[in-house]
Amino acid sequence: MTILHRVAAAGLAFAVTLTLAPPARAASALPVVDGCRPGTLPTGPLREAIGGLPDADATSAQVRVITPAGCWTGSSGVRDLRSQAPVPPHARFRVGSVTKVFTAAVVLQLAAEDRIELDDTVQQLLPGLLPAGYPAVTVRQLLNHTSGLPSASPPDEGIDWQLAHRYDRWSPEQLVRLGLRNPREFEPGSRQRYTNAGYIVAGMLIEKVTGHSYAQEIQRRIARPLGLHETYAPGDDPRIRGPHAHGYQAVVRDGRTELVDATVWSQTFTPAAGNLISSLADLDSFMTALFAGRVVPAAQLPEMFTLPAVHDVSGGPARYSAGLTAYPLPAGEILWIKTGSRYGYLAAVAATRDGRFRVEYSITGTDAKGEELSRTAERVIGAALGLL
């Protein structure tokens, strides 16, 4: 089960059953935190959702919610288990697959500049990357997960192997070759399956077309123009620069569970697909600008809100656009979301198409890559959806 399906199941259940707390005090009686003015936003459920950390599920949480009624930013838990210091202001974190929203935006910018066409093929733009005779794979298919390209799997999925190889460095070319050892998922354009493979290749396209590194293009095209001072691609650096909360992974050894610090970890296994570092404020600024048409030009922006006319490999409807995911709400509205997970870190962004409702969170979950969604994330999702 993907993290999206875990989020959807938890979120829809909460959306139906959540009872809201009474309205909070008037805005004049509440402090303004990180530029957020509460207004009449009932913050009780949000505070309760992240209360009591650290616990066995998570060591910290940061949440930002914006609605027409007001805005709230809060944090709970500790920066690290050794010092027990609180989460620092503007703490940075690994955003995981939220990276894909940034990557899709850059590719669509290049399309707007006529430097690529969305119907161009990988074979045209990156000759020799795919085997001879491989079916044509278009740029659009890379972005909306209909390419059929198989993803690379690490030699061992076990946590002990992962920890032992956390500093390994992988090149995008290595990852593509490793993925191509697996069978093709389906004929390009015929189905949809969420993978990292298309975005790893999209990152390679960005570098080939621009002549600059992926990290440089993220800074030049998105972070610098929007003033995102806490957002960057780490490249080969396994650390998180600047203030941040440590992430931990629960590991069972000799029948006992211990938490291993997973903060310092190479992200080269997910280049352009899951490697970015950011903050709540930066993610909110990015989502606000993106949905308002200030990142991707008007002619290309609909790609981010258009689902391909195919079925998912499970037989259900397509749910993934270029960079985002359609999350239907009970009232018929669509929430456009993106979740991400790296060892030690869970992250998500979500917004209605008009941008009036936005949510961002980072949770240092102790089993961020596990099959079950973090209980802390479930509570945050439920509290946030209750404000729609």
Catalytic residues: 97
Cα separation, 363 vs 375, in Å, equals 10
Question: In residues, how long is the chain?
Answer: 388
Check if the beta carbon of residue 245 is closer than 8 Å to that of residue 261: no
CA-CA-CA-CA torsion sign (292, 213, 345, 325):
positive
Burial class (CB in 10 A: 0-12, 13-18, 19+), 41: buried
| SS3 state at 101 | helix
Take residue 55 and report the two structure tokens written for it: 């616990």
- As beta bridge partners, residue 320 has 325
Question: What's the chain's Rg over C-alpha atoms?
Answer: 20
Distances (CA, A) of 54 to 64, 77, 84, 387: 19, 5, 9, 25
Take residue 123 and report the two structure tokens written for it: 């074979």
Biggest CA–CA distance in the chain, Å, is 67
Cα separation, 15 vs 359, in Å, equals 15
Check if the beta carbon of residue 46 is closer than 8 Å to that of residue 64: no
